[in-house]
Amino acid sequence: MDIHEYQAKELLSKFGVPVPRGGLAYSPEQAVYRAHEIGGPKWVVKAQIHSGARGKAGGIKVCSNEHEIEQAAQGLLGKKLVTIQTGPAGKLVSRLYIEEATDIDKEIYLSFVMDRAAERIVVVSSAAGGMDIEEISHSQPDTIIKVVVDPAVGMQGFQAREVAFGLGVDPDIVGKMERVILGCYRAFRDLDANMLEINPLVITKQKGVIALDAKMSFDENALFRRPQIAELRDKSQEDARETYANDRGLSYVGLDGDIGCIVNGAGLAMATLDMIKLAGGEPANFLDIGGGASPERVTKSFKAVLRDKNVKAILVNVFAGINRCDWVAKGVVDAIKELEIKVPIVVRLAGTNVEEGRKIIDQSGLTMISAETLADAAQKAVSAAKNAA
């Protein structure tokens, strides 16, 4: 789960990480009022969406007076901001963060990520922070500093100082850098984060260290014990298809194709996507209905898949172990009748109670395409989607 920049900064400040003063605004008038509250000669108007690279996309404006703030707010609110991370659809800007301007002397990149292969938290940093960090990571990989944290003891002060020295900061700032890095680590660890990125972490001309931007993602499986984090979720920034499915307990990931997939088991679902691609088609989604899918759950899966208007055919692929083919077959029949599904449906059943399941499909009187193998099912789904186009 992602959160907004202003939310991440509020969390980090509780762990001792310095952030600029700022306030939230939902209208141009409120943006001007926030600037008055903050005070100072300059302000930064920031679009709040779940994406990086906002600066390059025009989502961050430096303003020197009320008129500039109002114009910037009017230009951003209600706009779909398209960045290299949002894709062509972009994300809607419904709120702004008004922040005091900072006298920047040096920009640094700092992030904490979960390395699942190593089962460790890894600190990644670079002295070349800012908007061009992606290009720098490719062109100058030797400038990237990495420190692996042992979970048994946590991040130590000497490791934070090692990062600071590697970044080449002045000796009198090393102590401040150490406190910021350790504060970020504690926030990452204590809040069950998957990723924490500060780009840029700036050293000011007054020799301060401030998190000028902040991005955080959290482990959704741990939200049950982090209600204060779960409350920060902004569904308007998520894929509407994924939100609908996830709220109903379905493992769903939206894709760009036209063949909807309803499969039991993550591994089989991935294999199904691969077979569709191999057959010359494009899957519209990953959907795992789970091991004990009831007819009601199958119907919910159909509803989730059909929310994608690009779907031209649906492939149901079930290999029943804990599951039962007759349950799935009943769910398919009920869904077609209830939802009056018009797109072609390809059904491949195997495993527990497969004969009963096939009998339910055959005796339903509904038009469905049966398949014996996964390869056969994929070919028939691709063909059905092309004929329906």
Residue 86 among known ligand-binding residues: no
Could you say which of 210, 230, 250 is where a domain stops?
230
Task: For residue 40, give the CATH number of its domain.
Answer: 3.30.1490.20
Cβ atoms of 254 and 239 within 8 Å: the answer is yes
Q: Residue 291 pLDDT more than 70? A: no
Higher per-residue confidence, 207 vs 89: 207
Is residue 382 included in any domain, yes or no? yes
- 3-state helix, strand and coil shares in percent for the chain, rounded to the nearest 5: 40, 25, 35
Task: Name the DSSP letter for residue 237.
Answer: G
Active site residue 109: yes
Residue 109 falls within a domain, yes or no? yes
Q: What is the CATH number of the domain that holds 254?
A: 3.40.50.261
Span 45-54, pLDDT tens digits: 999 999 988 9
Whether residue 248 sits in one domain with residue 381: yes
Domain of residue 299 covers: 240-388
What is the H or E stretch that residue 91 is in? Answer: strand 91-92
37 touches 43 (CB < 8 A): no
The annotation status of 5 as a binding-site residue, yes or no, is no
Does 311 fall in a domain?
yes
* Segment 114-144, tens digit of pLDDT: 998 889 999 999 988 765 666 666 666 677 8
Q: Which residues pair with 203 in a beta bridge?
A: 106, 209
Q: Is residue 350 part of a domain?
A: yes
Q: CATH number, domain at 130?
A: 3.30.470.20
Mean pLDDT of all residues in 284-292: 84
Quick one: pLDDT at residue 281? 95
245 and 379 share a domain?
yes
Look at residues 50, 3, 45 and name the one whose alpha carbon lies nearest to residue 26.
45
Answer yes or no: do 88 and 138 share one domain. Answer: no
**Of 195, 230, 265, which residue constitutes the final position of a domain?**
230
Residues 64, 285: Cα–Cα separation, whole Å? 46
DSSP string, 281-349: --B-EEEE--TT--HHHHHHHHHHHHTSTT--EEEEEEEESSS-HHHHHHHHHHHHHHHT--S-EEEEE
The answer to whether 246 is a known ligand-binding residue is: no
| Mean pLDDT computed over 303-315 | 93
In a domain, 215, yes or no: yes
- Flag whether 264 is marked binding: yes
Indicate whether 142 and 26 sit together in one domain: no
Q: Are 165 and 76 in the same domain? A: no
Q: Do residue 63 and residue 141 come from a single domain? A: no
Structural domains of the chain, count: 3
Last residue of a domain, one of 177, 209, 230: 230
Q: What tokens does 151 get?
A: 């979970």
Catalytic residue among 6, 97, 109, 244: 109
Specify whether 33 is located in the same domain as 136: no
Contacts of 373 (CB under 8 A, 6+ apart): 348
Catalytic residue among 185, 197, 244, 252: 197
| Spatial separation of the C-alpha atoms in residues 113 and 124, rounded to whole Å | 8
Same domain, 359 and 257: yes
Q: What is the mean pLDDT of the chain?
A: 91
